[in-house]
Structure 1
Amino acid sequence: MSGDRVLAGIALRLLAIFFLSTMSALVKWGEHRGATLFEGMFWRQACALPVVLAFVMRGPGGLASLRTTRFRGHLARAMVGLVGMVFTFGAVILLPLAEATTFQFTVPIFATILGATLLKEPTGIQRWAAVLVGFAGVLVVAQPGGAHIAPAGAAVGLLAALFVALVAVLLRQLRDEPAGTTVFWFTALTLPLIAIPYAFHLKPHDAGTWAILAATGVVGALGQLSLTAASRLAPVTAVVPMDYSGLLWATIYGWLLFGALPAPMTWVGAPIIIASGLFIVWREHRLGRQQTMTAAPDD
């Protein structure tokens, strides 16, 4: 893989994290202005759909690339992703932005647990130790019994990370599908389902709030497409460390929009969680290389 492709992948991952961090800030800002959870979710998907379709039309195959023989896989990914969106948006609403973002850093930890339990992947003591260290970092951030983070908010934040990890497992079965196809079916299949509760939460808003809701969808779609494209250009070990730039954006948005800065213990616990996640990603990359070298035929 050329260095230029890796650098492009890293740049796209950084751009994706910026877009997704902006989306989270918009979700929370919209809620502060009176928009409900289901309104945010509906407009996230409704305004994302035209962006995704435009991306697909400009790609090879155009709209014909949306045909798929993996509909059941897309349906399963969409249903799990929809539940994950409920928890992800809920965490952003219930928690300060920096803390909600920090809980998302546990995704590699949950991915390790799911890989061992659902996929029966071999998981050595080092990765299990990293899982325990990561959850120790979660306890530092959550401060059980403290007043900074409500237990319900911490639980929703962890469930959001769990479902993101579940989506990652399901996406392995769809890795041969084009990026636009995967994003399109997720958006198209979940939008009608979100429309049902949204119909019971219709509310009038001012122009600024409607603009925020619309921007949530556009920015979210750009983030999702950038994230998928980055994974195709560069190895996971190169791009995943870029995810931690989300804490910087969450801190900036939290301060600018809500006058909130991360709690002192968040700065202590976040590096522990980040170190755990990075070790897991590095360990998986190293084991993958060893397996490739073992399987390669002798010259």
Structure 2
Amino acid sequence: MRLAAVAALGIMFALVKLGSERGVTLVESVFYRQLLSLPLILGWVSLGPGFASLKTQRVGSHVIRMVMGLVAMSLNFLSIIMLPLAEATVIGFAVPLFATVLAAFLLKEPTGKYRWGAVVLGLIGVILVVRPDGEALYSTGALVAVAAALATASVTIFIRQLGATEPAATTVVWFTASSLIPLGTAMLWFGQMHDPLTWVLLLAMGTAGGTAQLLLTASLRMAPVSVVLPMDYTGLIWATLWGWLLFSTLPLSATLLGAPIIIASGLIILWREHQLGKAQRLGVSEAEAV
């Protein structure tokens, strides 16, 4: 399911970039991604936990999560528009690195030498990919991609806290539905008519995004994080494939050099979290395991 989710995300990102070349604005892309995924999500809720599960006492927290999520999604879409697909995808692999740093400083989670070492290693990989090469658009796009990864990591940390009381279905539905209020308002200025093919692309983009969201959630219910998250790195395969087929671009040499380093650092973090989880189940303290 995680592999299928990553494939669906690859399709969504490729269609976002393709749509932008056909005149679709960033606001439209985010709006239709949310609007068209909502029926899929509501169908999933009706077949699963039921609509009663959507009741919450933390409306304010869901609003904050919505704002953070919209910022992260907009930055991710913008990085896809500004950069080749492979480069934007590789920089996005830095999310676990930023999440580790944020968890250490904001949540005061114990972070030992292995994870700090992985963070340093991963940041070296990010620097290699983001290298300044004199191309203003590329450099700006790379900075947007880094900001997107940082924003996504922040959302991850916030959802972790929200998940202490809120089921996954509640968080997903509240985010998707509530985001349509500011996005619908923005569409009064940014919405526009398109040709039939562009509407088909937008429909496919929203459907792929909603499908990916459901598959991502389902994968985490069926297996531990340390098992499913490494599958996310197959996104580079799809980004390279779609970049080549649709936009005649291939990863730059710096990307091919930095990508394995970033991926290795992410795998180290996942491996270490898995080891700590095993240690805690065996009764070993986290301080001893670190």
After superposition, the C-alpha distances for 1:55-113 in whole angstroms (9 at most, x for unaligned) are 111123x2222222332332222111111011011111011000110011001100111
Q: Find out whether 1:107 has 2:98 as its counterpart.
A: no
Unaligned residue ranges in structure 1 (runs of 5+):
1-11
1:38 equivalent in structure 2? 27
Contact 2:91 2:145 in 1 (8 A): yes
Residue 145 of structure 1: CA displacement? Answer: 3.2
Match of 1:263 among 252, 271, 285: 252
Contact 1:77 1:170 in 2 (8 A): yes
After superposition, the C-alpha distances for 1:29-49 in whole angstroms (9 at most, x for unaligned) are 100111010110111111111
Identity among equivalent positions (%) equals 51
Q: Separation in 2 of the partners of 1:126 and 1:148?
A: 36
Match of 1:241 among 230, 243, 268: 230
What count of residue pairs does the alignment treat as equivalent?
A: 284
Q: For structure 1, which segment, 158-167 or 140-149, has the greater mean C-alpha deviation from structure 2 after superposition?
A: 140-149
2:288 equivalent in structure 1? none
After superposition, the C-alpha distances for 1:187-235 in whole angstroms (9 at most, x for unaligned) are 0111111122221112221001011112221110110111011111111
Contact 2:114 2:268 in 1 (8 A): no
Q: Secondary structure at the match of 2:264?
A: helix
2:143 equivalent in structure 1? 155
1:131 equivalent in structure 2? 119
Q: Separation in 1 of the partners of 2:280 and 2:154?
A: 24
Q: Separation in 2 of the partners of 1:203 and 1:281?
A: 43
Query: What one-letter code is carried by the residue in structure 1 that aligns with 2:30?
Result: M
1:165 equivalent in structure 2? 153
Q: Secondary structure at the match of 1:287?
A: helix
Q: Secondary structure at the match of 2:190?
A: coil
Q: Cα RMSD over matched residues?
A: 1.6
TM-score by length of structure 1 reads 0.90
TM-score by length of structure 2 reads 0.93
Q: Separation in 2 of the partners of 1:239 and 1:59?
A: 22
Q: Find out whether 1:144 has 2:122 as its counterpart.
A: no
Q: Separation in 2 of the partners of 1:123 and 1:259?
A: 42
Q: Secondary structure at the match of 1:200?
A: helix
Q: Separation in 2 of the partners of 1:96 and 1:199?
A: 30
Q: Secondary structure at the match of 1:157?
A: helix
Query: What one-letter code is carried by the residue in structure 2 that aligns with 1:138?
Result: V
Query: What one-letter code is carried by the residue in structure 1 that aligns with 2:14?
Result: A
